[in-house]
Amino acid sequence: MQRRNFIRKVSVTLASVAGALAGISFLKQFTHGRTGSGRKARVGRIADFPVDTYTFLEEQKIFVYRDHEGVRAVSAVCTHLGCIVLRTTDGFECPCHGSCYSETGDVRSGPAPTALQWYRVEKAPDGVIVVDMSETASAEEKFYLT
């Protein structure tokens, strides 16, 4: 009887650990471990970004937005626990716990505690767009095309 209970407890423990590892592995696809800030990223030329479109850059975990005036960049990292947000018709939404952000990245509904971070955008001498993830910007700030 004691041996049967021991085996049952070991089985439950192993199943729990396996389930937790599978859950962590699943959630990792939505996160980036909060790395990638504090650096500049060369993200492409103006022509790479269609007008009035948010382009998701997986490596940098940012959305680059271009309109007729210029280019802006916003973090795609949810401020709750770091999942990658998805673009919606009128803002952004986190698939992990349901936080919703407005078009400007402000929190519409939590649990996200703060707005998405916008970054400074500049153009390198060779014409490549550079997103400086060590320099924050307001949602209205953009690199103006000339």
Please choose, out of 2-10, 12-20, 67-75, 78-86, the segment that lies near ligand FES by the rule CB under 6 A: 78-86
- The number of residues making up the chain comes to 146
Phi, psi of 50 (to 5 degrees): -60, 145
Q: How many beta carbons lie within 10 A of that of residue 36, not counting itself?
A: 15
- CB of 64: closest distance to ligand FES in angstroms? 21
The closest of 101, 105, 99 to 118, measured between CA atoms, is 105
Q: Which is nearer to ligand FES, 71 or 83 (CB)?
A: 83
36 binds ligand FES (CB under 6 A): no
Phi, psi of 100 (to 5 degrees): -120, 140
Which strand (E) or helix (H) includes residue 62? strand 62-66
43 binds ligand FES (CB under 6 A): no
- Of 87, 103, 111, 115, the one binding ligand FES (CB under 6 A) is 111
The closest of 54, 56, 18 to 139, measured between CA atoms, is 54
Please choose, out of 10-18, 43-51, 65-73, 74-82, the segment that lies near ligand FES by the rule CB under 6 A: 74-82
**Interface with ligand FES: number of residues (CB under 6 A):** 11
- Of 64, 73, 74, 94, the one binding ligand FES (CB under 6 A) is 94
Write out the two tokens for 54.
């948010």
The footprint of ligand FES (CB under 6 A) covers 78, 80-81, 83, 94, 96-99, 111-112
